Amino acid sequence: MAVRLTKFIREQILDAVLKHAFESREKALEAEKFALGDAVYNDIYPEPLRKQMAALPDGFLPTDGDVKVQFEGQGFVYVYFGERRRIARSHEYSAAQVYDDKHPLTARYGAWKKAKDDLDAEKSKAKSSAEAVLGSVTTVKKLIEVWPEVEQFARPFAVESPSRAIALPIKDLNKSLGLPPTVAATV
């Protein structure tokens, strides 16, 4: 008997395929997001200022994992540091810096944003296509026949589960349920 391709199995295979295809690029974009955040933080708070901020007692300055800045042509955005850092109180709720379109950080943010948007669009398209193939078949075996390249992700689900042993002997079960029913004698 072929293993049915349930919603759960479809989701597991889809997640594995998407992870295989996109994880390394997503991690690289995530690393660049935090590197950009570090560069913005270091630009807003140069090293001498950071030393002064570090010398202040705990709690004197707020800490946060991001600040809001404006890159010309991009509007206001949050840049993330990857960890909580001390920031000026005035930067908690308002833009910490406005970068013009000629600033290198504006160009860097624009390149990162374009790469992120392109990857998101590519992943969305691939996900829709993969969902269509996964939805077109009903068994794991048929999926592997139709899309052999996905076998390494589908094979773990192709194993038939062993038949379940009945925990209660049938005669005891019949007794507890009053089976078989007694038929009244007909006259």
DSSP annotation string for 96-156: SEEE-TTSHHHHHHHHHHHHHHHHHHHHHHHHHHHHHHHHT-SBHHHHHHH-GGGHHHHGG
DSSP state of 4: B
pLDDT number for residue 135: 95
Whose tokens are 């013009």? That residue is 100
pLDDT by residue for the chain (187 residues), tens digit each? 588 999 999 999 999 999 999 999 999 999 999 999 999 999 999 999 999 999 999 999 999 999 999 999 888 999 999 899 999 999 999 999 999 999 999 999 999 999 999 999 999 999 999 999 999 999 999 999 999 999 999 999 887 655 545 555 667 767 767 776 776 555 5
pLDDT number for residue 166: 52
pLDDT number for residue 75: 84
For the chain, domain boundaries: 7-157
